[in-house]
Structure 1
Amino acid sequence: MSLPQLLKEDGVYNLYVDGKPYIALAGEIHNSSASSLEYMKEKVWPYLRELHLNTVIVPVYWELIEPEQGKFQFDLLDGIIEQAREENVRLVLLWFGLWKNGISSYAPGWVKKEFTTYFRAVYKNNEPSETISPLCDKAVEADANAFTQFMAHLKKVDGDRNTVIMVQVENEIGLLGSDRDYSDYANVEFNRPIPAVIESLYGVSGTWEEGFRDNAAEYFMAYHYAQAVEQIASAGSKVYPLPLFVNAWLEQFPWRPGTYPSGGPIAKVMKIWKAAAPSICLYAPDIYLPNFAEICEEYTANDNPLFIPEARRDIPTATNVFYAIGKHDALCFSPFGIEDFMAPPDSGESIDAGIMMALNIENSGFVLNGTGPYLARSYELLGNMLGIIRKYRGTGKMTGFLQNHEAGCILSFSKYDIRITYHRQPAGKPVSGGLVIEVSEDEFIFAGISFYIEFLPKRSSSMKTSYVRIEEGKFVQDEWVPGRVLNGDEGAYHIKIGTNPAALRVELYQYK
């Protein structure tokens, strides 16, 4: 059986699993859920089954895999893989190693206690942080060794099954609370000449400060984090070359490195990361900010495929998935804390508002407000048409749209323009958005939530446009199953997809 791999073909990236293109309709579980197989069995898997996921994103923990130096335990990992097989889903694993959300909380106790060997990054006031410095060679070597053991074991237990299709190296990497590491070692490195690879990339020279001025601290950290990740990732990839990626805690207000993790793979330093960490195949945004469409644009620039391992938990996420897949050929869409979405209200793990404030994270993206049932319908609809979507990815015949401050948008296809008017819903309902596929010049498929459709002839055309047939329906294993045929009051004046995720097939003709 061939390994999962990421390939660029005819201008679009495809993730191959078992030799076929794969799109992950996913959910990421809470950070601690996978630390207990019993907890997974009782509190996680029962609440995922109604969501129509094909993929679950699950952490694995260095502290539990190597609790004593050189002694590795994989029973927990084996159990998670076995449970995923029983549930008939694929896994993306998150390596919680040296760095998670800007600090080193998942490093084993023997690493934390040896704080002179595995030295910390230091703040400007000479106070040590809880983040092990990316310039600490011994810490990076220890992580790389553990990651290699983990990948070797993964190959042994799953190399013939591909239950695990990708691995994320570390999590939301970077330094919180400071723009850079001010340890003595880091200060010496900061005042050295910029490495040749970065000089040539940006056409600058001198020290980091001379070359990059106000951005020097963040670019310096990006280079050293990327170098560290490359050492870890390349070591693991040599024994089991699954696709490896990193994720980003996004740059945000007040736009100062340290208020978000400085040196992480945000869009503006992706060029540095690509140069210093060639073993990483893609850079993934964790999207909790409200400007979803803008972030998708940012993370599909610079030849980067869109893969969203963490997305907002509030109700717009049920619409955002259509836009990400339709407009940007997303390979993965995955809201965070997915086990809460269909759980009874009193059983889900709440998100602490105080933590959100302390970390400068917008609370609204973490609030569940009826998201689960809508997301389940979105995933069910999309899951049954993934073959159709894969057929049209990268062809220019498929696009997506998402409600913004405008009343709607105009989409241009070969023979017609389509006017989409957003149906703005009251609070507590999904926003308007969806995707459209041009099956032929005169036939279109729409899927999404809450919008009106009007077909217009091209401006240069003297022809008039009307409908042969408008069908409600759904896909079942990529085959269109028609429902009502709309005409009269339901079709003559406007075509609409309502509040619930739904699909329409429209056939047109022109006359004069």
Structure 2
Amino acid sequence: MKQLPFIRKEKGIHTLYVDGEPYIVLGGEVHNSSSSSLEYMKEKVWPNLRGLNLNTVLVPVFWELIEPVEDSFDFKLVDGIIEQAREENVRLILLWFGLWKNGASTYVPGWVKKDYKKYFRARYPDNEASDTISPLCDAAVKADAKAFRRLMRHLREIDGDRNTVIMIQVENEIGFLGSERDFSDFANAEFEKPVPPEVAVSFGKSGNWSKVFGRDAAEYFMAYHYAKAVEKIAKAGTEEYPLPMYVNAWLEQFPERPGSYPSGGPIAKVMKMWKIAAPTIYLCAPDIYLPSFADICEEYTTNDNPLFIPEARRDATSAANVFYAIGKHNALGFSPFGIEDLFAPPSADSDSTSNNETGLYLAQSYKLLGSMMNIIHKYRGTDKMTGFLQNNNNGCIIPLSEYDLKLTYLQPEEGKPISGGIVIEVSENEFILAGMGFTAEFLPKRGEKAKVGYIRIEEGTFENNNWIRRRVLNGDEAMRISVGRYPGAIRVEMYKYE
């Protein structure tokens, strides 16, 4: 068996390794039902992905199809997806749609759904049953863990020597919708008990949930029990095949009340609880559909949590956001949702023109980033690389060792990428600027009398991590260093004089 993919913290940052080499996911997640049919994937998905320069595809696998009859397992669909990915020369991240998907239990097998007394449901305050199996239902968690264990054992057997599958997402957007917590009789009794010892120690308080967490008690209670359930499931899987595992979050949003978003899911506010109760889970990942992309990235790099974005809005902003996530926050990866729609043929129910434009921008961003990965890995986690992103502002100033870099953003246009990119300080006088939608001006440090000048400004790109010069910009062009709406790169060499 080859060396497994793994995530390791070194020099203050977390890095994903695949086949022993650093790896950043330039990905896309397919629609929920696409991977339920190998024929559909072959005809409607893979052809649309080939021009996007992806290195990784995020694909659901379904408990209901793997174990349609209790204790009878069928992995033909999983095998087929892996074989197709190998043919397309991409890696996979598998999403385990087990007990919970988007706050509900829609992907559990029929035999689980029917036995609603054994696999009991979370209930609303009026005792009405929900379509969500309670995270406090030990029988359901054990059944999910058993199926997940079998899946991971099977992956080890068929992929342990290939590493086609590099990570696993356990469940999908976990949490309870429609109420702040489970009000089943069993949950009510647990809610009145003292918080578990590890929680009391970590938060420095003891007593029942209400005493320790006050108005947020219900959400922390659900976070603990969802995390404990996921820990049992994930641990069963890693005992068979210890790939890196993560959970994803439907984010807190207006009206900011648990239950309007899935209560107990791994949002930033309760991430500490998830780290306590689910140590097998390496990271909590935000699904970013909200406009506050930069703020969310910041939130999900606290508590020593590496940033990974498994779902993002499928629009032109994604082409800029990926530069920012990698350059500013050392993201392990980025992945818009419904990725097969970007280059899909025209249809009556899709905006193919908008999707195709977005696809062209994202494909170029991925091509550029993918071709300069060595230099990105060299400077990840250092003060020599950063990212920038337009956020209702006209620009920014980035302090460098010997200069200040003034970036002015292009005015936003509907359907076009916003401004964003990466700045790499190769030496105190040499810089790589990659991204889109900006003009650049190098300034002397404040209070410094020296003037600055350009030795050379090159427009170009990277091929196999080597800089390929195109135009050398001088004369009129040197008066305005810029990268337009389409992703591109510039290499600049500076000097000072008096």
Q: Could you tell me the TM-score, scaled by structure 1's length?
A: 0.95
- Pick from 400, 404, 409 the counterpart of residue 422 of structure 1: 409
1:332–1:159 distance in 2 versus 1, CA, 3 Å? same
**How much does 1:200 deviate?**
1.1
Runs of 4+ in 1 over 6 A off after TM superposition: 347-351
Aligned to 2:470, what secondary structure does the other structure show? strand
Partner of 1:185: 186
Pairs aligned (count): 496
**How much does 1:406 deviate?**
2.1
**How much does 1:407 deviate?**
1.4
Partner of 2:286: 285
Does residue 1:403 correspond to 2:404, yes or no?
no
Q: Give me the whole-angstrom Cα distance separating, in 2, the residues matched to 1:371 and 1:69.
A: 43
Partner of 1:319: 320
1:295–1:369 distance in 2 versus 1, CA, 3 Å? farther
Does residue 1:439 correspond to 2:436, yes or no?
no
Q: Give me the whole-angstrom Cα distance separating, in 2, the residues matched to 1:423 and 1:301.
A: 31
Partner of 1:354: none
Partner of 2:368: 381
Q: Give me the whole-angstrom Cα distance separating, in 2, the residues matched to 1:222 and 1:306.
A: 20
Q: Give me the whole-angstrom Cα distance separating, in 1, the residues matched to 2:424 and 2:344.
A: 34
Does residue 1:10 correspond to 2:25, yes or no?
no
Contact persistence 1:318–1:375 (CA under 8 A): yes
Compare 342-351 and 322-331 and name the one that shifted more. Answer: 342-351
- Pick from 388, 391, 412 the counterpart of residue 399 of structure 2: 412
Does residue 1:73 correspond to 2:59, yes or no?
no
Q: Give me the whole-angstrom Cα distance separating, in 2, the residues matched to 1:425 and 1:13.
A: 33
- Pick from 429, 432, 436 the counterpart of residue 449 of structure 1: 436
Q: Give me the whole-angstrom Cα distance separating, in 1, the residues matched to 2:355 and 2:259.
A: 28
Contact persistence 1:245–1:281 (CA under 8 A): yes
Partner of 2:118: 117
Residues 368-420 of structure 1, C-alpha deviations (whole Å, 9 max, x = no match): 48311111111111111111111110111100000112211110111111011
Aligned to 1:335, what secondary structure does the other structure show? coil
Contact persistence 2:444–2:452 (CA under 8 A): yes
Partner of 1:464: 451
Residues 262-303 of structure 1, C-alpha deviations (whole Å, 9 max, x = no match): 000000100000000000001100000000000000001111
Does residue 1:495 correspond to 2:481, yes or no?
yes
Contact persistence 2:343–2:356 (CA under 8 A): no
Aligned to 1:271, what secondary structure does the other structure show? helix
Aligned to 2:432, what secondary structure does the other structure show? strand
Aligned to 1:50, what secondary structure does the other structure show? coil
Does residue 1:145 correspond to 2:131, yes or no?
no
Q: Give me the whole-angstrom Cα distance separating, in 1, the residues matched to 2:385 and 2:241.
A: 35
Aligned to 2:50, what secondary structure does the other structure show? helix
Aligned to 2:132, what secondary structure does the other structure show? strand
Residues 312-342 of structure 1, C-alpha deviations (whole Å, 9 max, x = no match): 1121111101100110011110000000001
Q: Give me the whole-angstrom Cα distance separating, in 2, the residues matched to 1:123 and 1:398.
A: 49
- Pick from 481, 484, 491 the counterpart of residue 505 of structure 1: 491
Aligned to 1:173, what secondary structure does the other structure show? coil
Structure 2: unaligned runs, 5 residues or longer: none
Structure 1: which amino acid aligns with 2:239?
K
Q: Give me the whole-angstrom Cα distance separating, in 2, the residues matched to 1:410 and 1:145.
A: 53
**How much does 1:125 deviate?**
1.1
Residues 22-77 of structure 1, C-alpha deviations (whole Å, 9 max, x = no match): 00100000000000000000000000000000000000000000000000000000
Partner of 2:96: 95
Aligned to 2:252, what secondary structure does the other structure show? coil
Contact persistence 1:470–1:506 (CA under 8 A): yes
Aligned to 1:209, what secondary structure does the other structure show? helix
Map 1:48-447 to 2 at 5 A: 48-346=49-347, 368=355, 370-447=357-434
Compare 383-392 and 163-172 and name the one that shifted more. Answer: 383-392
Structure 1: unaligned runs, 5 residues or longer: 352-366
Aligned to 2:16, what secondary structure does the other structure show? strand
**How much does 1:348 deviate?**
7.3
